[in-house]
A and B are shown apart, each in its own frame.
Chain A
Amino acid sequence: MHLILFFIFAGLCLAGAINMLLQSHPIASALSLIVVMTSLAVLYLLLGAEFLAAAQIIVYAGAIMVLFTFVVMLLNAGREERTQGSRVASLVGFPAVAVILALIATVILHVQGLGTASLSQGITSTEELSVVLFTKLLLPFEVTSVLILIAILGAVALARRGHGDQVVSVPQKKTEGR
């Protein structure tokens, strides 16, 4: 059962990702990215990480991507234009991506002691997760939140320096929700 669901949603995830790259309209790309994120959430759920799955949906699919679509709609962005440069980019880009992926895959396969996760392993409850997060991993957690705070302040400062473009400052504020 888990394996079937895994294949369905992994396939959906890959299809969404490929569709995102192929689509020329920004809204269509944004929507395929939402499909990718939602199916990733299901994959997390299959691995037993229920809180992560919910956070993925709420933060990425529900907040960040809404802002993406919001900005695309607000600016009424048109179709992507193809130039000479984009053809060169696709010629060089695809082999480069393949090489990088192969490199990463070999490195990961050779590293020992990465820890394993398998499907249907039982569920990690939110309680266990928060205990680990607020005791063992407290420092990285706090450092990340400070980093996000700095990013927010930086975005606001940058937006203020021009003519105070509201559209830019509002999306950045949302990262607080993480």
Chain B
Amino acid sequence: MTILQFFLWSLLKVAVVTVVMLLGVAYTVLLERKLVGRIQNRWGPSRVGPFGLLQPLVDGAKSFLKEDIIPTGVYRPLYLLAPILSLGCALISIGVVPFGEPVTVAGSPHLFQVSDVNIGLLVILGITSIGVYGIALAGWSSNSKYSLLGSLRSSAQMISYELALGLSLVGVVMRAGTLNLRLIVEQQSKFGIASWNIFGGMQFVAFFIYLTAAYAETNRSPFDLPEAESELTGGYHTEYSSMKFAMFFMAEYANMITVGCVATLLFLGGWTSPFGDLIPPPQNFLAHALFPICWFVLKVFCFLFLYVWVRGTLPRFRYDQLMNFGWRWLMPLAMLNIVATSLWLAYR
């Protein structure tokens, strides 16, 4: 493959993944509004298009057309940089996620993955940890007490839970012996659901830790203290309006999707079917390429459903409870999980 071919393929893949991701973000918002509506015994958006399906488009148009207000007291360069950083980091990390089986089409070895990196998992963790700056700088540069408090809470929460998040993944990495996301998935493919890391790999504790830490990392309920509207009006994005606010909003949902993809890849067998080799893979090339994608999307959808379900049912934590839980429970539990997994790997 020549440089030019590589460049063109990459460009195409990036464009497609970005568009799909943004569509996914839009429809995750709709999913959330619909589901939370049903949980609270109301319909949710139902007027725009059939079943309210066009609602995201209208919402997008609305955010574009709203007046863009920049308050006088802000520190402009950082105030403008913050939403870009937030959304940028949220969208970049999806680049190492493999969505389907490695299929070779016209000289491009991994059609359903933007780039196949040896340290894919570390790339995702690294970019997520850079994403904190978006929120931290937004709060600081807004020159408002609510924003500052929200961003302080958020940075403290994110760096506390990042440790638990990283440690919970160590068990999976030890079992796989690699940081390459594609290889991690391929090792879970043999016996279907029985060889997924969450069941066959006995990593359910790690999965629970990952789930909790991921909710805190993405500032979602029950850990949505950075934007606790009853105390902080809007948290770190109080002073943002129009498309800049929408960028933070999109970043949050894009992060949710990325977290769902990572959970799927590491614990739920990625694109592999839950039946493993019981059902032979389809011979037809198109079906062979597309079935795995369906499984992947289905798994991510279940994860997002769980996200919304949790938001609809659990009340918000208090701040000291959040910190206690992170440092005193999740971190030691994650370390115990590492010890247990390594003992099991050594003596089985």
Query: Which A residues form the contact surface with B (CB < 8 A)?
Result: 1, 27, 31, 34, 38, 50-51, 54-55, 57-58, 61-63, 66-67, 69-70, 73-74, 123, 125-127, 170, 174, 176-177
CB < 8 Å neighbour of B152 from A38, A63, A70, A126? A70
Closest 8 CB pairs of A and B: A62-B129, A54-B122, A57-B126, A58-B126, A73-B140, A70-B155, A54-B119, A50-B119
Show 8 A/B contacts (Cβ-Cβ < 8 Å), sorted by A.
A27-B78, A54-B123, A57-B126, A66-B132, A70-B136, A73-B152, A126-B179, A174-B159
Q: Are A61 and B130 in contact (CB under 8 A)?
A: yes
| New A-B pairs, 12, CB < 8 Å, besides A62-B125, A66-B132, A176-B163 | A1-B3, A27-B78, A54-B119, A57-B130, A58-B122, A61-B126, A62-B130, A66-B155, A67-B159, A69-B136, A73-B151, A170-B156
Please measure, in the bound complex, the distance between the C-alpha atom of A67 and the C-alpha atom of B140, giving whole angstroms: 14
CB < 8 Å neighbour of A61 from B78, B129, B156? B129
Query: Nearest chain-B residue to A41 (Cβ)?
Result: B126
Which residues of chain A have C-beta atoms less than 8 A from B139's C-beta?
Answer: 73
Name the prevailing secondary structure of the B interface residues: helix
Query: Nearest chain-B residue to A53 (Cβ)?
Result: B119
Shortest Cβ distance from A93 into chain B, in angstroms? 28
Number of interface residues of B (CB under 8 A): 32
Name the prevailing secondary structure of the A interface residues: helix
Q: Are B152 and A74 in contact (CB under 8 A)?
A: yes
Which residues of chain A have C-beta atoms less than 8 A from B156's C-beta?
Answer: 70, 170
Please measure, in the bound complex, the distance between the C-alpha atom of A58 and the C-alpha atom of B148, giving whole angstroms: 24
Please measure, in the bound complex, the distance between the C-alpha atom of A176 and the C-alpha atom of B158, giving whole angstroms: 16
B118 at the interface (CB under 8 A from A): yes
Query: Nearest chain-A residue to B121 (Cβ)?
Result: A54
Shortest Cβ distance from A148 into chain B, in angstroms? 14
